[in-house]
Amino acid sequence: MSAPMHQFEADTGKILDIVINSLYSNKEIFLRELISNASDALDKRTYLSATDSALLAEDQLGITLAVNAKAKTLTISDNGIGLSHDDLISSLGTIARSGSKAFVEQLAQSADTSDKKSDDTLSLIGQFGVGFYSAFMVADKVEVLSLKAGETQAHLWSSDGVSGYDISPAEKPSAGTDITLYLKKDCKDFLEEQRIGYLVKKYSDHLSYPVMWQPVNVDDARQLNTGSAIWTRQKSDISDDDYTQFYRQIGAGYDEPFMTLHNRTEGALNYTSLLFIPSQRPMDLFNPDRKSRMQLYINKVFITDECEEFVPPWLRFVKGVIDTPDLDLNVSREMLQHNPAVVKIGKAVVKRILSELDKKKKKDFEAYQQFWEQFGIVLKEGLYEDIDNRDKLLGLCLFTSARTGAQISLQEYCDNMSETQDKIYFLSAESVAQAETSPHLEGYRARDIDVLLLTDPVDEFWVQAVGSFDEKPLTSISRGSQNLDDIAPKKDEADDQKSENQDEEFAPLIASLKSKLGEQVKDVRLSKTLVDSPACLVADDDGMDIQMERLMKAHNKDFVGMPRVLELNADHKLIQAISEKLAHDADPELVQDACLMLFDQAQILEGKSPDSLTEFARRMTRLMERGLAG
Ligand code: ADP
Ligand code: MG
């Protein structure tokens, strides 16, 4: 074989070498790249012929794919703008374009380091492609036959992708480009209509031009892509049903979308977004990777459906498409992460989603509540992960009010509290039902002070990170001791004297309990909040909430929690009876059982089982015997 007339530029050779020899995994993207180039060429012709009618095409603009089974070739044809002799040299013989240049630079960097890293780099290129050169992944010879619109002489460019290329004058009846790939031995599957059809659907389904399959019999031509990307159409031309169909098509869900956000932004940032919030939790909502997955298109060409750069993990339930011309098709995943356009689009998209949710909350609270029930738990992750959006997110949060059972916002809680109250009280529990029966609530109920019931594991984390709302500290009622009398007197009494006497009266019981329970409790004291229950456990001021402790245990079974403070209800008959027995030194076994039982019970009310269930059952039996048989 004679040497080619033209040599590739140095860097071009380097890219070709890597593309051809190292990219095995994702060869199929060559088709996306070539179809995207064809689509660009059609765009250019459309644009230029608007002012120069000499450039108008005779036929409908489109892309055609044809194979020759004998010659083992695949040809991608377009009737776009075409390439002149000089275009062929400058476009296909160099890598002056920014994406490819950056790619080479990145490659040079990773070549210096470990093999592992360069492997990674290669898989990245595999995902994002390197434009025209990707043809050489599947072909050992490529021919480009092109006639530029408005010119008369066509040219044939050809190359084996190794050292250089040839250009010679050729015949072509109408403007446009035919790219013929002489497929490599192991790439014969690209001759199959089914395989090609699948790839066109996958990558090029939403191009505005038809992609036709042209079999030997011309009459059997068929269109492989759907065409007309829904997000590029006018909102007014799209029905709810169209949106829902698309929502299902992209696998966002099988329900009806709860919210559809379709926007076009032009100016400093250019992008179109079509986003959906599902009505139901998707299956992968609690996957440990917590990745958001958005579809990224660049000018209607599919790039990836796993773009995590636009929305943060706490919005991972939002699904949809972002299409922007502001990125280069060759952008690698690493570049995507730090790309300023991506960052800006992401910020704008997040802002939009939050403000639409806020609008919905104000306009249709009932529907919003349903959304919150499904996704509030995920949204709340943003409270500790995204300080910039924290205030907006706090505004979107709903909690069950212990007073009314209704879902209320932090603002509503604050609006409804008395002037003497300066804290936001909350109780963490596993469920609303468990919280509602908690002894911790009794004193608040008796004083008509509202408490927010927090039942999601994530609550433990954001509460700590956020600390306060509207300058009011978020305060756990199962921790430390709260002096509620300063806020409101108990409805049925106002006996100041009593509490001092009680301290004296119950001192022996407290001392006895301390010695019986030993290390199991941090302290024993009289409660200021209990009303109906005889006893409860609270965490120390600087201790860990019981819910938090449970979470820690779930992650690490060796985790040992801190002992709690046992609080006694001095007004409770049971406590008074035990205290009396103790004072008269009567029935020491019974007193012993009763004291331990108080502690067992308090543990159970916190959702913890007693340390020894056998001992617990025995004590219970003895006490029942006394009550029933004695
Ligand atoms: P990019 O598309 O990012 O510019 P490519 O490597 O895919 O990079 O293509 C290089 C250039 O070759 C294009 O910018 C374009 O000028 C030219 N080109 C490729 N394919 C065609 C085509 N089918 N018709 C006209 N020009 C083309
Ligand atoms: Mg291209």
Q: Please state the three-class secondary structure of 85-145 as a single string.
A: HHHHHHHHCCCCCHHHHHHHHHHHHHHHCCHHHHHHHHHHHHHHCCHHHHHHHHEEEEEEE
Bigger pLDDT: 551 vs 579: 579
Q: Is the pLDDT of residue 107 over 80?
A: no
Share of the chain above pLDDT 70, in %: 89
Is the CB of 88 within 6 Å of ligand 1? no
Distance of alpha carbon 281 from alpha carbon 266, whole angstroms: 32
| Mean pLDDT of the region 452-470 | 92
Q: Of all helices (H) and strands (E), which one includes residue 416?
A: none
Q: Is the pLDDT of residue 495 over 90?
A: no
Written as six digits, the tokens of 55 are: 């450039």
Q: Of all helices (H) and strands (E), which one includes residue 468?
A: strand 468-469
| Mean pLDDT of the region 516-526 | 93
Q: Which ligand is nearest to the CA of 101?
A: 1
Neighbours of 583 (CB within 10 A): 11
Q: Is the pLDDT of residue 235 over 80?
A: yes
Is the CB of 144 within 6 Å of ligand 1? no
Pairing state between β 472-476 and 535-538: unpaired
Per-residue model confidence (pLDDT) at position 126 = 45
Q: Which of 159, 158, 180, 154 has the alpha carbon at shortest distance from 34?
A: 180
- Dmax (CA) for the chain in angstroms is 119
Q: Is the pLDDT of residue 542 over 60?
A: yes
Per-residue model confidence (pLDDT) at position 95 = 53
Per-residue model confidence (pLDDT) at position 630 = 63
Q: Is the pLDDT of residue 380 over 90?
A: yes
Distance of alpha carbon 5 from alpha carbon 475, whole angstroms: 80
Bigger pLDDT: 46 vs 323: 323
Helix ranges, 339-481 (H): 340-363, 365-379, 382-385, 390-396, 410-415, 432-436, 442-446, 459-466
From the CA of 38, how far away is ligand 1's center (Å)?
Answer: 8
Give me the sheet containing 564-568, strands edge to edge.
521-526, 564-568, 535-538
From the CA of 177, how far away is ligand 2's center (Å)?
Answer: 14
| Mean pLDDT of the region 488-512 | 76
Q: Is the pLDDT of residue 479 over 80?
A: yes
Using only the alpha carbons of the chain, give its radius of gyration: 36
- When mean pLDDT is compared across 32-36, 260-264, 460-464, 484-488, the lowest value belongs to 484-488
Is the CB of 149 within 6 Å of ligand 1? no
| Mean pLDDT of the region 213-233 | 86
* Domains located in the chain, CATH noted: 5-223 (3.30.565.10), 230-368 (3.30.230.80), 398-495 (3.40.50.11260), 498-630 (1.20.120.790)
Bigger pLDDT: 543 vs 572: 572
Q: Is the pLDDT of residue 200 over 90?
A: yes
Query: What's the length of the chain?
Result: 630
- When mean pLDDT is compared across 9-13, 142-146, 208-212, the lowest value belongs to 9-13
Q: How confident is the model at residue 98 (pLDDT cuts 50, 70, 90)?
A: very low
Burial of 337 (0-12, 13-18, 19+ CB in 10 A): exposed
Per-residue model confidence (pLDDT) at position 113 = 47
Between CA 335 and CA 342, with CA 339 as vertex, the angle to 5 degrees is 120
Per-residue model confidence (pLDDT) at position 117 = 45
Atom 27 (ligand 1) nearest CA: 37
Highest mean pLDDT among 38-42, 205-209, 324-328, 471-475: 471-475
Per-residue model confidence (pLDDT) at position 116 = 47
Helix, strand or coil for residue 62? coil
Q: How confident is the model at residue 567 (pLDDT cuts 50, 70, 90)?
A: very high
From the CA of 136, how far away is ligand 1's center (Å)?
Answer: 15
Q: What share of the chain is helix, strand, coil (3-state, %, to 5)?
A: 45, 20, 35
Distance of alpha carbon 151 from alpha carbon 571, whole angstroms: 101
Is the CB of 243 within 6 Å of ligand 1? no
Q: Which ligand is nearest to the CA of 36?
A: 2
Q: Which of 384, 348, 184, 205 has the alpha carbon at shortest distance from 266?
A: 348
Atom 12 (ligand 1) nearest CA: 91
Helix, strand or coil for residue 545? coil
Pairing state between β 399-401 and 6-7: unpaired
Per-residue model confidence (pLDDT) at position 79 = 97
Is the CB of 34 within 6 Å of ligand 1? no
Share of the chain above pLDDT 90, in %: 57
Atom 23 (ligand 1) nearest CA: 38
Helix, strand or coil for residue 337? helix
Q: Which of 527, 559, 530, 534 has the alpha carbon at shortest distance from 546?
A: 559
Distance of alpha carbon 91 from alpha carbon 167, whole angstroms: 13
Q: Is the pLDDT of residue 93 over 80?
A: no
Per-residue model confidence (pLDDT) at position 114 = 45
Per-residue model confidence (pLDDT) at position 111 = 52
* Packed helices 496-517 and 573-583: angle between N→C axes, nearest 10 degrees: 70
pLDDT tens per residue, range 237-253: 899 988 988 888 777 87
Written as six digits, the tokens of 331 are: 């952008």
Helix, strand or coil for residue 495? coil
From the CA of 569, how far away is ligand 2's center (Å)?
Answer: 77
Per-residue model confidence (pLDDT) at position 503 = 83
Per-residue model confidence (pLDDT) at position 101 = 55
- When mean pLDDT is compared across 8-12, 84-88, 283-287, 527-531, the lowest value belongs to 8-12
Q: Is the pLDDT of residue 621 over 70?
A: yes
Q: Which ligand is nearest to the CA of 134?
A: 1
Q: Is the pLDDT of residue 128 over 60?
A: no
Q: Is the pLDDT of residue 103 over 60?
A: no
Per-residue model confidence (pLDDT) at position 96 = 42
From the CA of 132, how far away is ligand 1's center (Å)?
Answer: 6
Bigger pLDDT: 103 vs 275: 275
Bigger pLDDT: 185 vs 331: 185
Q: How confident is the model at residue 22 (pLDDT cuts 50, 70, 90)?
A: low
Q: Which ligand is nearest to the CA of 15?
A: 1
Written as six digits, the tokens of 420 are: 């003497």
